[in-house]
């Protein structure tokens, strides 16, 4: 009898809720469902990219493309589609744009910081790779991968520079905006930066052990930059500058090796 009485009271309380209150309750439930769907979709996308990276690393061990893979049109279209999906996931999450880093209150300042951090990152990663090669030879450096993506001319460098834009935007949207900002309601951001950096490094498997370690360390820097600036703009600029400088250095090293062989 007591249980029946409580049930009737609950039903009565629901009936006397105002229209606005019922609407708020409905939106709360919808938001919870949206965030769950966001988490599942994010897991599916991350798993797909991780599997693709692993498959690519296995393929490159026995096959070499005829052209620079960064200029492949099919890959470009896939990256653009994934960028659109990342934006859709961010909207689906229902999180504030500030949490996702989709704001730029001081764009000029953030771009300058990105330029500075990107230059320092490029110098550090180049020095690290050269040190590894000097100490161990090419055992931990995927020289074949470097030769595949290195531009053959200044014109190709700038074409690759344009193709690099969606690569960087996709990686920053996924690894900084969604995997750090998007998961921040569930875990401390410091732990997310560390976990994402391990994942980011692992997804550079085709670049060899040195590339994995270098990418992981770079991800820590980019994650810290994302948190301190509370914007995706600075990490995007830093990431792009670091990659572009590395491509320029790779082109120079490749030409030096070819001239040495000819000489």
- Following DSSP, what letter does each residue of the chain receive, concatenated? -HHHHHHHHHHHHHHTS-HHHHHHHHHHHHHHHHHHHHHHHHHHHHHHHHHHHHHHHHHHTT---SS-GGG-HHHHHHHHHHHHHHHHHHHHHT--HHHHT---SSHHHHHHHHHHHHHHHHHHHHHHHHHHHHHHTTSSS-HHHHHHHS-SSHHHHHHHHHHHHHHHHHHHIIIIIIIIITTTTTS-HHHHHHHHHHHHHHTTGGGHHHHHHHHHHHHHHHHHHHHHHTSSHHHHHHHHHHHHHHHHHHHHHHHHHHHHHH-
- The pTM (predicted TM-score) of the whole model is 0.83
Q: What is the pLDDT of residues 59-89, one digit of tens each?
A: 777 777 878 888 999 999 999 999 999 999 9
Q: Are 206 and 60 in contact (CB under 8 A)?
A: yes
pLDDT of 116 reads 97
Percent of the chain's residues with pLDDT above 90: 56
Q: Which three-class secondary structure string do you get for 158-184?
A: HHHHHHHHHHHHHHHHHHHHHHHHCCC
Higher per-residue pLDDT: 27 or 175: 175
Q: What is the pLDDT of residue 13?
A: 41
Distance, CA of 246 to CA of 72 (rounded, Å):
20
Average pLDDT over residues 203-220: 87
The pLDDT score that the predictor gives to residue 76 is 93
Q: Tokens standing for 41?
A: 């979709």
């Amino acid at each position: 009898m007591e249980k029946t009485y409580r049930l009737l009271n609950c039903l009565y309380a629901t009936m006397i809720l105002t229209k606005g209150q019922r609407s708020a309750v409905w939106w709360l439930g919808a938001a919870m469902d949206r965030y769950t769907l966001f988490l599942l979709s994010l897991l599916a996308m991350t798993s797909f990219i991780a599997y693709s990276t692993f498959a690519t690393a296995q393929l490159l061990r026995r096959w070499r493309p005829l052209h620079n893979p960064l200029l492949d049109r099919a890959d470009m279209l896939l990256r653009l589609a994934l960028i659109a999906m990342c934006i859709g996931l961010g909207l689906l999450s229902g999180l504030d744009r500030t949490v996702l880093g989709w704001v730029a209150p001081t764009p000029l300042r953030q771009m300058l910081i990105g330029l500075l951090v990107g230059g320092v990152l490029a110098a550090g990663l180049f020095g690290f790779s050269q040190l590894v090669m000097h100490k161990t030879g090419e055992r931990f450096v995927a020289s074949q991968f470097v030769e595949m993506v290195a531009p053959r001319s200044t014109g190709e460098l700038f074409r690759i520079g344009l193709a690099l834009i969606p690569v960087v935007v996709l990686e920053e949207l996924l690894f900084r905006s969604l995997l750090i900002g998007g998961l921040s309601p569930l875990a401390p951001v410091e732990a997310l930066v560390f976990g994402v950096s391990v994942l980011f490094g692992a997804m550079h498997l085709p670049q060899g052990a040195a590339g994995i370690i270098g990418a992981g360390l770079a991800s820590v820097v980019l994650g810290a930059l994302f948190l301190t600036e509370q914007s995706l703009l600075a990490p995007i600029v830093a990431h792009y500058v670091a990659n572009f400088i590395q491509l320029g250095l790779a082109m120079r090293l490749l030409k030096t090796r070819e001239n040495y062989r000819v000489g």
